[in-house]
A = this chain, B = another copy of it.
């Protein structure tokens, strides 16, 4: 694997050289001497560009890009039962592969190098992520309402056998929710995740209805319920977490759980507003996710940063969730949630990076790059995407992009 040298790139106000060896940042300095640069190094001209950490998408359902725009602007139940589920029912493994590739293409083009995925046919999503050069945490998904005892056993066998599948891909145990997985399976999922050293990821307290039903049926909030089963711990990552009590927040803090905020999906589905202010005061780690493209309807983490910040401020406090804070959520917090030693442009870290075009009109004037990136930019500002020391987008081009799109068009025409 040849080294990469990014010459004269703008980094937090300084102009530096960035040398990547193997898959890590080896040296970052104002001028790296020629004798320190290996012979086979590929040189990238960083002039007029800024290097920043890329995005780590903490919660999505990649293949649901196939459902983008299929149904919008309706109540959750009608949307799921009359549109989403019937179309999903027609999906084969080939659809999941095509949909995952479409999702990864979109993510790379918008600066995302990692995604945590909860869906079916995980082998297809793993294959797409491996081929396209991104990182991923791929869920082995549990939902008792949709599975047989045999398919649940098969899930656990897959976890044991494949849990160290590929260096950029990790598996995670993903019980879908408190309303689709029962007590015994929750306990087993938690034990297996701990035994194998894997993340356990689920949806929690997304809607008022979920919380009210849980209180009615179990006498506890969803967070209290998982706590009572012994599920919660530092390997647990919870998506949504909108309708939390003060006691829920205490439990989450005590158990060192990470939360994933999905503002776009929460707004579009009318689910509610995460109480970012209280959660940040409690110093609970929060990362960002796009959720699936059927409820967003894109996988653009830059847009998600802006939505998160604006949504935090809308109730009347413009000081909440600054550009720097939300950038932190979308980058290093996402990497940390899933145990990836990346998310900072720093010697020794895994070499994931974006080059932004400082000559794009939205990054001008450059008083404060991170403000421009969060509030003003869009994906047109991205010049290059690097993941694990490899260039995965250059001059706006991702390998095989035409074939990926053509395959989606073909397969969609068959299910409509």
Stretch from A20-28, A141-149, A247-255, A363-371 that touches the partner: A363-371
List A281-333 residues whose CB lies under 8 Å from chain B: 293, 296-298, 300, 303, 306-307, 309-311, 313-323
Interchain Cβ contacts under 8 Å between A and B, 10 examples: A68-B367, A69-B368, A70-B367, A72-B368, A73-B318, A105-B361, A109-B380, A268-B309, A270-B317, A361-B401
Q: Is A11 an interface residue (CB 8 A)?
A: no
The listed residue (B293, B367, B379) touching A69 by CB distance below 8 A is B367
Asked if B365 and A273 make an inter-chain contact with CB atoms under 8 angstroms apart, the answer reads no
B residues in contact with A109, CB < 8 Å:
361, 380
Cα distance, A297 to B361, chains bound together (Å): 12
Minimal beta-carbon separation of A31 from chain B (angstroms): 24
B residues in contact with A105, CB < 8 Å:
361
Give me the 6 closest cross-chain CB pairs, A-B, nearest first. A267-B310, A69-B371, A297-B375, A73-B322, A298-B376, A270-B318
Stretch from A35-43, A115-123, A385-393, A404-412 that touches the partner: A404-412
A273 with B314: in contact, given A68-B372, A322-B72, A365-B409 (CB under 8 Å)?
yes
Q: Is A92 an interface residue (CB 8 A)?
A: no
The listed residue (B69, B303, B306) touching A365 by CB distance below 8 A is B69
The listed residue (B76, B110, B297, B323) touching A371 by CB distance below 8 A is B297
Cα distance, A315 to B268, chains bound together (Å): 10
